[in-house]
Amino acid sequence: MADQVTINPNEHYKDSKGRPVSESSLAFHELAEAYAKIDGGKAYGDYNQINVVSGTTLQIGPPQQGAHDEAVQREFKLRGQRPNLQNSGRAGDQLIRDPHN
């Protein structure tokens, strides 16, 4: 295991617009993020891959989407499929961040 998901059931999360974020949306986002980190090998935030070429030259690759933004995209897809989520807050826009990154 390379990641943990812990959600405080006593905490009331809100997005940046002040809308409450449901526990199910929060769990979905955090699990999608963990999946992107573990199975996708992604960093939490966006990144560029850097390789050393011929032992002396750095090659910087194109920007890559990090685990958080990949989870946000999955959440957008879920919200598009479930109209009942449209009036609630987005977990990807919550005002908490991964303390390890």
Sorted by where each begins, the domain ranges of the chain are 23-93
32-86 residue pLDDT tens: 988 888 888 888 888 777 778 777 777 787 778 888 889 888 988 988 888 888 8
Distance from the first to the final alpha carbon of the chain: 17
Q: What percent of the chain has pLDDT over 90?
A: 1
4-40 residue pLDDT tens: 788 888 888 888 888 888 888 888 888 898 888 888 8
How does DSSP classify residue 89? P
Confidence class for position 101, pLDDT limits 50, 70, 90: very low
Report how far apart, in Å, the C-alpha atoms of 51 and of each of 48, 56, 58 are: 10, 10, 6
- CA torsion 96→14→46→43, rounded to 10°? 50
- Burial 69-80, CB ≥16 within 10 A → b, else e: bbbbebbeebbe
pLDDT of residue 2: 61
Q: Is the pLDDT of residue 100 over 60?
A: no
Q: Which stretches of the chain are assigned E, i.e. beta strand?
A: 47-53, 57-64
Q: Look up residue 91 and give its two tokens.
A: 């977990």
pLDDT of residue 59: 75
| pTM for this predicted structure | 0.69
